[in-house]
Amino acid sequence: MTLFHSIILGLVEGFTEFLPISSTAHLILTGKILGLAQNEFNTFFEVFIQSGAILAVLLVFFKKIMVDQALIKKTFVSFIPTALIGFLLHDIIKTVFFDSLQLITFSLFFIGIIFLVIEKKVKNNHKTIKKMSYREAIIIGLFQSFAVVPGVSRAGIVIISMLLLGYKREDSVYYTFILAIPTILAASALDFIKLDWNILTIDKSILILAGTLVSFFSALICIKWFISYVENKTMKIFGLYRIALAVVILFFLLLK
């Protein structure tokens, strides 16, 4: 991996982390396009630079989060299912899920179809996060746990679960931002603990720092755009994009 690669991956991470299109899938696909091997360092890099996107969320929403203690409690309740599944399946996720383009293709396509179906059926949702019960927080967390599969999209599956529960689109998107904080920080911490520290040379540490910084600034742009987008538009475009991307990947898989 070169500095150029780290910047490209940082941009991809920042611009896709909070959109319902699967940042993990995009990072894996970008890595393959760039010819990067799926080795221990590159896998760690792809996870760790997500912390840059989380720093962007904290910068934008810190004051709002700190004054809402009930939201903090519900966020951690939603985080529990993902934490348990992510910890138990960590090795399988990294060695099997991340290396399966077929699984990524299916996930992109299937969740894309779900988005299109839900956008046709869900009308006039009015619930806000303040009305969220702890039972619903657990349900949302269970849905999020499916995002350990690349291509599902953590943001996407959370939004889907909340739309089905009757929450407004804007509130659903906002909750994905907040729920990302413990989820991604925990994933980064777990990878950091399990990492073979011998691979963290000075040169590679610079690559991680560069990718994280680029992820931070690009995520800031994406967050502000996405907030304004969902105020008066549906998620249909993301469903169509996911399906189109899945078809393109399948085409190249069939050409092999």
Domain ranges of the chain: 3-255
Sign of CA dihedral 194, 52, 23, 159: positive
Distance from C-alpha of 254 to C-alpha of 235, rounded to nearest angstrom: 29
Question: Would you state the structure tokens that stand for residue 13, as one six-digit string?
Answer: 């991470």
Question: Would you state the structure tokens that stand for residue 118, as one six-digit string?
Answer: 């839900």
pLDDT at 120: 81
Kindly report, residue by residue over 3-30, the tens digit of the pLDDT: 999 999 999 999 999 999 988 889 989 9
Q: What is the three-class DSSP state of 67?
A: coil
Please say whether the beta carbons of 128 and 168 come within 8 A.
yes
> Distance of alpha carbon 156 from its chain centroid, rounded?
8
Indicate whether 124 pLDDT > 80: no
Question: Would you state the structure tokens that stand for residue 252, as one six-digit string?
Answer: 């190249």
Confidence of residue 189 (pLDDT cuts 50, 70, 90): confident
Confidence of residue 61 (pLDDT cuts 50, 70, 90): very high
Indicate whether 191 pLDDT > 90: no
Kindly report, residue by residue over 22-56, the tens digit of the pLDDT: 888 899 899 889 988 777 788 888 888 988 999 99
Query: With 0-12 CB in 10 A as exposed, 13-18 as middle and 19+ as buried, what is 125?
Result: middle
Indicate whether 94 pLDDT > 70: no
pTM (two decimals):
0.89
Distance from C-alpha of 18 to C-alpha of 3, rounded to nearest angstrom: 24
